[in-house]
Structure formats: structure tokens, C-alpha cells
Amino acid sequence: MKEIMTNELMEKIKNNENVNVIDVREDDEVAQGKIPGAKHIPLGEIPNQLDKLDKNKHYYMVCRSGGRSGKACEFLEQQGYNVTNVDGGMLAWTKDVEK
């Protein structure tokens, strides 16, 4: 599984690269904040939301710490999607934002 560090993803966003971020956390977690521009699809809904994802696009999957997004990556890779797990998830993102 491909992984990216949060600081690398931040650079892509700062450089206005076209990044597609999918946040797989639950509603109450996302309500506390998410990566700007991220699309919210809870992990349990991913199998039923495949029609919202384009196999020709690359997606960065994020959750709280990287576990659920890793599961989402494994599932989506099996379905033929190009995905990368955000290592450390929102915990790492928040620490990098505070630097």
C-alpha cells in the first residue's frame, strides 16, 4: 500500500496540486475539523459509494490515525482504484498544522 506523510500532502495542497482527499472518519470526528477540500465518506459507506469515485483519479485516504484509511485503501485497491494512505492520519495532520 502506498503511503504519504502529512507534511508531503500539505505541500501538495499548498502548491495547488489537484489532490482528492477522502476522509473515512465518522460524522462526529469530521465535525471537529478536516483537511480543506476533503470529501467525507465514512469507512462503512465506502462499498456503497463507489459510484462517487473515479477510477481515473488518485485518492488520498485519511482517518484519525491511519488504521481505518488503510483498510479503505486495501478495499479500494482490490476494486481497481489508485489510492494512497495518509500516514498518521488527522493526529499527524493536526501536529503538522501547529508547527
pLDDT exceeds 90 at position 96: no
Is residue 41 assigned to a domain?
A: yes
Read off the CATH number of the domain in which 18 is found.
3.40.250.10
What does the mean pLDDT of the chain come to? 96
pLDDT at 54: 97
- Known catalytic residue at 73: no
Is residue 44 assigned to a domain?
A: yes
Residue 60 pairs with which residues in a beta bridge? 21, 84
Q: For 9-42, write each residue's pLDDT tens digit.
A: 999 999 999 999 999 999 999 999 999 999 999 9
Q: Within a 13 Å sphere around the CA of 86, how many CA atoms are in the beta-carbon half?
A: 32
Of 38, 53, 63, 72, the active-site residue reads 63
Task: Note the pTM of the prediction, 2 decimals.
Answer: 0.96
Is residue 76 assigned to a domain?
A: yes
Q: How many domains would you assign to the chain?
A: 1
pLDDT band at 99 (very low <50, low <70, confident <90, very high): confident
Q: Residue 81's domain spans which residues?
A: 2-92
pLDDT at 57: 97
Using CA atoms, how far apart are residues 48 and 41, in angstroms rounded to an integer?
10
